[in-house]
Amino acid sequence: MQPTATVLFLCTGNYYRSRLAEHYFNALAAERSLAWRAESRGMRVNPDNIGPISLEALRWLRARGIAVPEPERYPLAVTDDDLGRAALVIAVKEAEHRPYLERLFPSRVERVEFWHVHDLDVATADEALPLLAARVEELIRRLST
């Protein structure tokens, strides 16, 4: 089955949470022949990140046998086009991302689903990534019905 719809994961830097969600979602969707694919973007991309994706996200994905495309792309900032093309938009932490969306894309806020997964300034990867993975798995189940 060919992917027909896109879910767009948003986080602040498109380096850690949204990237893990994108890769994990795509791996699960492919296993289930789900007609969805994921992309990810950031609200405020940091040009000082080391490499294209966080080591915490890479370690978590690799530990589960999930391949990351080579070469991995660098973080991308979200655009209005990105938001308009996606069938579903998920911001991974409402308290952090709603203010960005309200300021930068006020007409798009009402169609965004907000989760509550902390960044590394609040929770360790061992705390946050299992919560993020569980939300992605729940989303896959929801989109499978």
Which H or E run includes 21? helix 17-31
CA distance 2 to 30: 10
Q: In the chain, where are the structural domains located?
A: 5-144
pLDDT per residue over 65-113, tens digit each? Answer: 998 888 889 999 999 999 999 999 999 999 999 999 999 999 999 999 9
User: Residue 117 pairs with which residues in a beta bridge?
Assistant: none
How much is the pTM? Answer: 0.95
Q: Return the pLDDT at 145.
A: 83
CA distance 113 to 5: 16
Asked whether the beta carbons of 91 and 10 are under 8 A apart, the reply is yes
pLDDT for 3 beyond 70: no
Strand order in the sheet with 36-42: 36-42, 5-11, 88-91, 112-114
CATH of domain 5-144: 3.40.50.2300
**Amino acid code (one letter) for 1:** M
pLDDT per residue over 14-46, tens digit each? Answer: 999 999 999 999 999 999 999 999 999 999 999
Q: Return the pLDDT at 24.
A: 98
pLDDT for 52 beyond 90: yes
92 three-state secondary structure: coil
